[in-house]
């Protein structure tokens, strides 16, 4: 500070040289004033600095206090940390000890575990051994086992299921289990019918919807199972397999004969195909797509079809068989053309199927699809069926006629003295063959050479008639030889014998019945006469008496009284009750009615003395005669019945002898 002041003074001195003292004075005073001012300012500044210093000093003091405090705290923390450290150290020591212990324990546990494992292994071995021993003792389940063993097995299985389920009531489980088995295709047993089978059941047995509904509910209520598939799935099956549109289907009234001979009308189904060409074309396309349409040496490049038919039970069916298939009797080879209820006679076939025959007769070409390409081939037509059906198709009069063959003009008789047999018919004589032209009314236009007689049918028929039946007839004859005198050599004659024996048996039974009744009547007559003899008091009955000296009308029972008749003796003209004259049998009554009896009445027959006693013994003779007849009839009846039973058994279901060996029927 003294620096700048002295500098200024030096400057004033230098300047005073040039200026007046006064002005210099004034100037100095001004300067002085300024310096004063400056000084006071500086003083102020110093003052404020001092204040600041004082404040800083104060701050410093408080900071010192804080530092002291911090130091104190630090010390404390240090103390605490060292204490904690000590604690941790102790802890670590403890843990180390624990670890040692655990390790020891671990080693020990491991050893005991090993021991236990060893025990388990040994036990497992034992269990295995037991299992194999059990398996050895349990034989394989076999259908030929006896029932007891099977039931036993079932019980064991159920017991082990029960153990496994940890539940004693396993019915709920079993119900579900049976359903599971049924639904699982890995196992064969099942109880529920598939939709197809349900549909078949419905159609086959003609079950109505309402029956179905009721039966389903009944079955479910009783068993808890659904036997049939749902109605929905059945209707689906129906839809997929329905070929209804291809046929004309009608219900028709057909008159039928009941067993009592009365005629009545019944509704029957009738179906006929609309178009052979359509269904055959579709079938050929389907077969071709499945590589089942075949051509061989027999068919060449043609489609070969055969029209056939047959009557089974009450219906006549018409079908078309296809030769171009790998297997002759394959279901794919058959097409239903139609069916109706009735015989396969010429008239019926014509009436029902003329529309089909017309189409068949004009079927010369057929078109079908192979991979989208239309193929047309020639059709070769044949006829197949049994002899009766073929006769009907061609309008031939049939096998009962004198020209029974539709292929040749052979003429022979089926019955009577000139009946044709294998020995007397001259097969070798030429008779000439027939042709289609010989049948102007034929329903089909297929040449006779293209008729295929079912070979199996024919063989069966011939072998049956000329082979098996002969042997069966002999077997029956031999089996009956000890019981029956002669039953005949052939089955036909044996059937006649059986019929005769049945009639005889019936007749003898009727006779035994009649004789028994007569005996009863005669016994009552005797009793009545005895009552008269003993002069027993008459009962209160007031029936009209006859001319007999000993009329028994009032001492006999109601039945014999009401069965009795009146008759008059030819020689004395008196009228008697039949029973009063000892007439008891239906034959004797009949003789009286026909006036062929020469017997006089008790009254005018001189050989019989006029006593009750004598009349009783006379009637007793009759009783003896009736008993004799009864015994006779019984004996005959026994013989006849024996023969009938022996023959029936031999013919129907033999249990011994040759019949059994031949497996009749």
Binding positions for Zn ion, rule: CB under 5 A: 405, 407-408, 546, 548, 551, 553, 569, 571-572, 577, 580, 601, 603-604
Residues 6+ apart with CB under 8 A from 274: 246, 247, 248
Q: How far is the CB of 577 from Zn ion (least distance, A)?
A: 4
CA distance 649 to 498: 11
Q: How far is the CB of 185 from Zn ion (least distance, A)?
A: 56
Please identify, using beta-carbon distances, which residue of 478 and 604 lies nearer to Zn ion: 604
Please identify, using beta-carbon distances, which residue of 199 and 567 lies nearer to Zn ion: 567
Strand partners, 522: none
Quick one: which of 300, 278, 450, 458 has its CA closest to 366? Answer: 278
Q: How far is the CB of 568 from Zn ion (least distance, A)?
A: 8
> Angle at the Cα of 245 (from 240 to 248), degrees rounded to 5?
135
- Total length of the chain: 665
Please identify, using beta-carbon distances, which residue of 410 and 651 lies nearer to Zn ion: 410
Please identify, using beta-carbon distances, which residue of 331 and 422 lies nearer to Zn ion: 422
Q: How far is the CB of 553 from Zn ion (least distance, A)?
A: 5
Please identify, using beta-carbon distances, which residue of 540 and 544 lies nearer to Zn ion: 544
Q: How far is the CB of 278 from Zn ion (least distance, A)?
A: 38
Judged by DSSP in three states, 312 sits in: strand
CA distance 96 to 90: 10
Q: How far is the CB of 305 from Zn ion (least distance, A)?
A: 25
Other beta carbons within 10 angstroms of residue 355's beta carbon come to 16
CA distance 334 to 308: 10
Residues 6+ apart with CB under 8 A from 608: 602, 614, 615, 618
Please identify, using beta-carbon distances, which residue of 254 and 407 lies nearer to Zn ion: 407
Please identify, using beta-carbon distances, which residue of 150 and 388 lies nearer to Zn ion: 388
Please identify, using beta-carbon distances, which residue of 407 and 630 lies nearer to Zn ion: 407
Residue 509: Cβ-neighbour burial (10 angstroms; 0-12, 13-18, 19+)? middle
Please identify, using beta-carbon distances, which residue of 443 and 601 lies nearer to Zn ion: 601
> Angle at the Cα of 474 (from 473 to 479), degrees rounded to 5?
100
Q: How far is the CB of 473 from Zn ion (least distance, A)?
A: 27
- Concatenate the DSSP letters of all residues of 329-383 into one string: T-GGGEEEEEEEES---HHHHHHHHHHHHHHHHT--EEEEEETTEEEEEEEEEEE
Q: How far is the CB of 600 from Zn ion (least distance, A)?
A: 5
Q: How far is the CB of 453 from Zn ion (least distance, A)?
A: 11
Pairing mode, strands 451-453 and 373-385 = parallel
Please identify, using beta-carbon distances, which residue of 391 and 548 lies nearer to Zn ion: 548
Q: How far is the CB of 310 from Zn ion (least distance, A)?
A: 21
Please identify, using beta-carbon distances, which residue of 476 and 569 lies nearer to Zn ion: 569
Quick one: which of 269, 276, 266, 357 has its CA closest to 309? Answer: 357
Q: How far is the CB of 639 from Zn ion (least distance, A)?
A: 41
Helix, strand and coil percent figures for the chain, each rounded to 5: 60, 10, 30
- The string over 607-627, giving b where at least 16 C-beta atoms fall within 10 Å of a residue's C-beta and e elsewhere, is ebeeebeebbebbbebbeebe
């Amino acid at each position: 500070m003294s620096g700048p002041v002295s500098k200024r003074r030096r400057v004033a001195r230098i300047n005073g040289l040039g200026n007046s003292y006064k002005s210099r004075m004034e100037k100095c005073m001004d300067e002085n004033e300024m310096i004063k001012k400056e000084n006071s300012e500086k003083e102020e500044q110093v003052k404020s600095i001092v204040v600041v210093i004082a404040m800083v000093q104060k701050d410093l003091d408080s900071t010192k206090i804080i530092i002291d405090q911090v130091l104190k705290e630090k010390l404390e923390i240090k103390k605490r940390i060292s204490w904690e450290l000590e604690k941790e150290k102790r802890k670590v020591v403890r843990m180390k000890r624990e670890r040692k212990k655990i390790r020891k324990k671990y080693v020990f546990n491991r050893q005991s575990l090993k021991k236990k494992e060893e025990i388990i292994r040994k036990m497992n071995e034992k269990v295995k051994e037991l299992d194999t021993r059990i398996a050895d003792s349990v034989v394989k389940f076999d259908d030929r086992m006896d029932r007891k063993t099977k039931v036993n097995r079932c019980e064991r299985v159920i017991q082990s299921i029960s153990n496994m389920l940890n539940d004693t009531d396993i019915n709920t489980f079993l119900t579900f289990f049976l359903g599971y088995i049924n639904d699982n295709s890995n196992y064969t047993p099942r109880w529920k019918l598939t939709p197809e089978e349900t549909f078949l059941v419905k159609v086959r047995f003609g079950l109505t919807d309402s029956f179905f509904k009721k039966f389903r509910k009944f079955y479910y209520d009783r068993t808890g199972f659904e036997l049939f598939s749902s109605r929905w799935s059945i209707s689906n099956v129906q839809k997929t397999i329905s070929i209804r549109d291809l046929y004309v289907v009608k219900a028709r009234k057909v008159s039928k004969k009941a067993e009592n001979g009365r005629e009545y009308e019944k509704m029957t189904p009738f179906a006929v195909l609309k178009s052979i060409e359509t269904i055959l074309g579709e079938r050929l396309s389907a077969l071709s797509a499945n590589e089942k349409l075949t051509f061989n040496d027999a068919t060449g490049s043609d489609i070969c079809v055969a029209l056939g038919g047959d009557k089974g039970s009450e219906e006549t069916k018409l079908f078309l068989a296809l030769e171009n298939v790998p297997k002759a009797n394959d279901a794919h080879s058959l097409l239903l053309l139609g069916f109706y209820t009735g015989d396969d006679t010429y008239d019926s076939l014509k009436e029902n199927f003329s529309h089909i025959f017309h189409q068949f007769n004009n079927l010369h070409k057929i078109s079908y699809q192979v991979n989208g390409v239309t193929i047309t081939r020639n059709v070769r037509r044949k006829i197949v069926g049994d002899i009766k059906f073929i006769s009907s198709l061609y309008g031939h009069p049939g096998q009962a006629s004198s020209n029974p063959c539709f292929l040749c003009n052979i003429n022979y008789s089926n019955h009577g003295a000139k009946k044709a047999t294998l020995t007397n018919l001259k097969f070798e004589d030429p008779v000439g063959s027939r042709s289609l032209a010989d049948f102007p009314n034929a329903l089909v236009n297929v040449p006779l050479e293209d008729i295929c007689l079912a070979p199996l049918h024919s063989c069966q028929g011939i072998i049956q008639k000329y082979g098996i039946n002969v042997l069966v007839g002999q077997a029956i004859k031999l089996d009956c030889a000890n019981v029956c005198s002669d039953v005949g050599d052939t089955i036909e004659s044996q059937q006649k014998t059986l019929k005769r024996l049945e009639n005889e048996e019936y007749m003898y039974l009727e006779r035994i019945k009649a004789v028994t009744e007569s005996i009863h009547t005669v016994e009552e007559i005797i009793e009545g006469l005895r009552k008269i003899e003993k002069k027993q008091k008459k009962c209160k009955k007031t029936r009209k008496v006859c001319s007999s000296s000993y009329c028994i009308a009032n001492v006999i029972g109601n039945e014999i009284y009401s069965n009795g008749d009146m008759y008059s003796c030819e020689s004395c003209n008196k009228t008697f009750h039949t029973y009063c004259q000892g007439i008891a049998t239906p034959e004797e009554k009949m003789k009286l009615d026909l006036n062929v009896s020469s017997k006089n009445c008790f009254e005018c027959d001189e050989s019989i003395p006029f006593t009750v006693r004598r009349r009783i013994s006379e009637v007793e003779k009759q009783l003896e005669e009736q008993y004799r007849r009864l015994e006779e009839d019984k004996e005959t009846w026994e013989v006849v019945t024996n023969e009938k039973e022996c023959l029936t058994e031999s013919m129907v279901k033999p249990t011994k002898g040759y019949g059994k060996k031949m497996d009749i029927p």
